[in-house]
Amino acid sequence: MTGEHDLIKRFFAPLCSCPDDFPAFGLLDDTALIPSCRGGDVLLTSDMLVADVHFFADDPPFDIAHKALAVNVSDIVAKGGLPDLYLLSLALPANLSSDWLEAFSSGLLQAQKRYDCELVGGDTVSTKGPLVISVTMLGDIEAGKMVRRNGAFPGDQVFVSGTIGDGTLGLLARSGELEKTGVKLPRQQHEHLLNRYLRPEPDLALSSLIYRYASASMDISDGLFGDFTKLCAASHVGGIIEAARVPLSDAAASVLAHQPDLLDNILTGGDDYEVLMTIRADRADKFEVEAENVTRIGLVVERVEGVKMLDSDGQPLELAQSAYDHFGDIES
Amino acid sequence: MTGEHDLIKRFFAPLCSCPDDFPAFGLLDDTALIPSCRGGDVLLTSDMLVADVHFFADDPPFDIAHKALAVNVSDIVAKGGLPDLYLLSLALPANLSSDWLEAFSSGLLQAQKRYDCELVGGDTVSTKGPLVISVTMLGDIEAGKMVRRNGAFPGDQVFVSGTIGDGTLGLLARSGELEKTGVKLPRQQHEHLLNRYLRPEPDLALSSLIYRYASASMDISDGLFGDFTKLCAASHVGGIIEAARVPLSDAAASVLAHQPDLLDNILTGGDDYEVLMTIRADRADKFEVEAENVTRIGLVVERVEGVKMLDSDGQPLELAQSAYDHFGDIES
């Protein structure tokens, strides 16, 4: 195979719906185009994934592709929007095979269908370092309806979607760390955690409920407690989460039964890709009935009361780390 | 310094004009927002730069930042648009200092001012490999005015902006290869080439001329002849460029006087970031008068005549490589 043009033609052009027209012109022009007559606002988000930081270099390329799109979809859904278009840039190590790219492209195609979005541009370059994937995603939302982080108000109820902690436990399982803590899970539960780490599944159906009900919302990517702290800070409020109410999968509950110390990881670890929402108290019951798969876990309070995670006795939990940070430290 | 939040606050939030409002909300929310009431179309483009592929890791961070924006601006201008918003994702090696980031952020700020655009989002992650910079840029253009690659017609005149070949000669100069070929340039000319490699300068003033005059247009990033071949293919036409008409800087002319073999590099090397345009014959004179700094270099012909670069005797030049490819080969 010889270079970028063939690469695009073979693996990426098939991901565009209109080969000769906007938005992507078959990836053969210099830019994509969003026509002016959209009617709604456009949400913009970008996530970068690096091999052996955000996934393992030997993870199946089909799943890596899924994750690269899903983490961006997660941001769009949490704002009350729906995914529409994305640009994909890849820094590819020289030893990557065309089989790898074939499977990666198939994974993108399946994820596009699942999330109803489409590739419109990007770049492919070579690197002597690890594979780097950068996705910029555009989402649709009715004009003026974006749900920000900053709308929570004392008295609002706090909800999360899905279950919490599976992603970070999946990473521990994948790296062998979980076994070292003495936890031995049934195969099915082990697989569940691995899958939740590698294939986050943001729920498009939640999007319209978020824009109809949520006063504030964000996706949980850097740990429940850290992200809740960020939402409270943006809203200038305090907040309380009751740890016992935080929804766990059977697998996470098993882990906790064997190794209670891992509660800290569950509440502060990254890679959940669930949604954290606040709902006005008088609408919370209605929201809970309409939304499937959401759980009420806490309450927004006045700022002076601070942000707390309470144990089952109502005592503040001391958490080792307040937020997982993909970044780590920079020399200062 | 501790993690992504501080990093964004210190180095990147100052690059947003409205800290509490759209489009970027001070980079503190999950997505940016383009309001619906824009009136025009939106152009989308993305370029990824990898240390020691697209720049040297020890190049000044101020200039690297400039290049990362300029190569995207170049795509927007070539379509007849103007830059507006961008998202920036960085994979940062652990040894990068805060001084480096400070200078990089300053470089972004200066480039933003120069090109009248603004940071609205992105991501920062860590990597064990080389620095990777991914920029996605949105441009404004009047509805329906995007200039595609596919509008060239036999009889159209071919124009380029600026001078050709400086970028690729700058890379040869930077890596010491130019000296090895026996070329010794005056210091000022050497500096000129280095600067053209590191700091491409797309010309915003060209944008409105392109959308008023050009039948087809693209930026020249992978070599004049290769990119001309792409434009002709997209337009289903043939084309002729007269090598003797291709505009050269004094520095490039000096190089050629010493080492005529480097004509091939000049005509096919990458990193020009100039614009290649085709103009209907009856409008070409008017365009040439109105546009500063453009040169007529050839003619669009029927497809059957092929795509050719002619020497001063009207004979086809045999070029060693038809297009510079940032990507290189993938194992098949």
Which of chain A's residues have a Cβ under 8 Å away from the Cβ of B138?
A: 44
Closest C-alpha to A161, from A81, A216, A220: A220
Q: How much is the pLDDT for A41?
A: 85
Report the relative pairing of strands A82-93 and A32-34 from DSSP bridges.
unpaired
Q: Which residues contact B113 (CB under 8 A, 6 or more apart)?
A: none
End-to-end alpha-carbon separation of chain A, Å?
A: 44
Residue among B91, B85, B89, B90 nearest B44 (CA): B85
Q: In what order do the strands lie in the sheet with A214-220?
A: A214-220, A274-279, A157-161, A294-301, A238-242, A307-310
CA distance B54 to B134: 12
Enumerate the residues of chain A whose CB falls inside 8 A of the CB of residue B125. Answer: 48-50, 53-54, 326-327
The pLDDT value recorded for residue B18 is 66
What are the C-alpha distances in Å from B193 to residues A7, B173, B189?
31, 7, 6
How distant is the Cα of A254 from the closest Cα of chain B, in angstroms?
32
How long, in residues, is chain A?
A: 332
- Structure confidence by residue, pLDDT tens digits, A31-65: 777 766 667 888 999 999 999 999 999 999 999 99
Beta bridge partners of B296: B159
Q: Report which of B68, B104, B61, B62 is spatially closest to residue B86, judged by C-alpha positions.
A: B68
Share of chain A above pLDDT 70, in %: 89
Say which of B37, B44, B139 has its CB closest to residue A120. Answer: B44
- Reported residue count of chain B is 332
CB contact under 8 A, B101 and A330: yes
DSSP B299: E
Closest partner residue to B41 (CB to CB) among A34, A81, A323 is: A34
The counts of H helices and E strands in chain B are 11, 11
Shortest CA gap A50–chain B (Å): 7
Give the C-alpha separation, A323 to A330, whole Å. 17
Sorting pLDDT into bands at 50, 70 and 90, what band is A298? Answer: very high
The whole-angstrom separation of Cα A202 and Cα A69 is 10
Which residues of chain B neighbour A214 with C-beta distances below 8 Å?
none
B139–A97 CB contact, under 8 Å:
no
In this prediction, residues A136-144 reach a mean pLDDT of: 90
Collapse the DSSP code of A84 into the 3-class scheme (helix H, G, I; strand E, B; otherwise coil) and give the result.
strand
Closest chain A residue by Cα to residue B120: A44
A94 class by beta-carbon count within 10 Å (0-12 exposed, 13-18 middle, 19+ buried) = exposed
Which residues of chain A are within 8 Å of residue B44 when distances are taken between CB atoms?
23, 31-34, 85, 87, 120-121, 138
Nearest CB to A31 within list B23, B29, B76 = B76
What chain A holds in terms of domains, given with CATH numbers, is 31-141 (3.30.1330.10), 157-310 (3.90.650.10)
Decide if the complex's ipTM is over 0.85.
Answer: yes
Asked if B329's CB is within 8 angstroms of A91's CB, the reply is: no
Question: A44 and B33 in contact by Cβ < 8 A?
Answer: yes
Our CA-based measurement puts residue A93 at a distance from the nearest CA of chain B, in whole angstroms, of 9
Indicate if the pLDDT at residue B242 is higher than 80: yes
Three-state SS for B26?
A: helix
Digit-coded pLDDT (tens) for B159-202: 999 999 999 999 999 999 999 998 999 999 999 999 999 999 99
In this prediction the pTM is 0.92
Choose, out of A7, A28, A48, the residue to mutate when testing the contact with B (most B CBs < 10 Å).
A48
Candidates A252, A120, A240; CA nearest to A178 is A252
User: β-strands A32-34, B238-242: how paired?
Assistant: unpaired
Instruction: Taking residues B105-132, report their average pLDDT.
Output: 93
Closest Cα in chain B, distance from residue A187 (Å): 32
Query: What DSSP designation does B9 have?
Result: I
pLDDT at A217 over 80: yes
DSSP structural state of residue A86: E
Return the residue of B nearest to A131 by Cα: B129
Mind listing the pLDDT tens digit for each residue in B256-298? 999 999 999 999 998 999 999 999 999 999 999 999 899 999 9
The residue of chain A nearest to residue B27, with distances taken between CA atoms, is A45
List the single best residue of A36, A38, A85 to mutate versus B (max B Cβ within 10 A).
A36
User: Concatenated DSSP letters for A93-119?
Assistant: ETT-BHHHHHHHHHHHHHHHHHHT-EE
Contact A50 B129 (CB under 8 A): yes
Residue of B nearest to A226 (CA): B5
Contacts of A150 in chain B (CB under 8 A): 29
Angstrom distance (rounded) from CA A7 to CA B99: 38
3-state class of A32 per DSSP?
strand
The dihedrals phi and psi of B286, each to the nearest 5 degrees, come to -65, -45
Q: How far apart are CA A9 and CA A13, in angstroms?
A: 5
Percent of chain A with pLDDT over 90: 74
Question: In whole numbers, what is the pLDDT of chain A averaged over residues?
Answer: 90
Other Cβ atoms less than 10 A from the Cβ of B17: the count is 13
Residue B71 predicted with pLDDT over 60: yes
The verdict on a CB contact (< 8 Å) between B44 and A30 is no
* Cβ–Cβ below 8 Å for B28 and A76: no
Q: Is B205's pLDDT higher than 90?
A: yes
Interface test with B, best of A123, A145, A229, A275 (most B CBs within 10 A): A123
- Among candidate residues A194, A261, A136, the one with its CA nearest the CA of residue B42: A136
Q: Which of A44, A150, A330 sits opposite B96 (nearest CB)?
A: A330
- Percent of chain B predicted with pLDDT > 90: 74
What is the longest distance spanned by two Cα atoms in chain A?
A: 65
- Contact A332/B1, CB-based, under 8 Å? yes
Q: Return all residues near B48 (Cβ < 8 A) that are at least 6 apart.
A: A89, A90, A91, A123, A124, A125, A132, A134, B132, B133, B134, B135
* Separation CA A109–CA A129 (nearest Å): 26
Write down the pLDDT at residue B28. Answer: 66
Question: Cβ–Cβ of B29/A234 closer than 8 Å?
Answer: yes
Cβ-based contacts of B150 with chain A (< 8 Å): 29
Q: In a mutagenesis test of the A interface, which of B16, B36, B277 is the best target, namely the one with the most A β-carbons within 10 Å? A: B36
Judging by beta carbons within 10 Å of its beta carbon (0-12, 13-18, 19+), is residue A192 exposed, middle or buried? buried
B132/A129 touch (CB, cutoff 8 Å), yes or no: yes
Is residue A25 over pLDDT 90? no
Rounded to a whole number of angstroms, the distance from the CA of B89 to the nearest CA of chain A is 6
- Interface probe with A: pick from B8, B28, B30, most Cβ of A within 10 Å: B30
Q: pLDDT per residue over A262-285, tens digit each?
A: 999 999 998 999 999 999 999 999
Question: What is the distance between the alpha carbons of residues B166 and B174, in angstroms, rounded to a whole number?
Answer: 12
Contact B169, B193 (CB under 8 A): yes
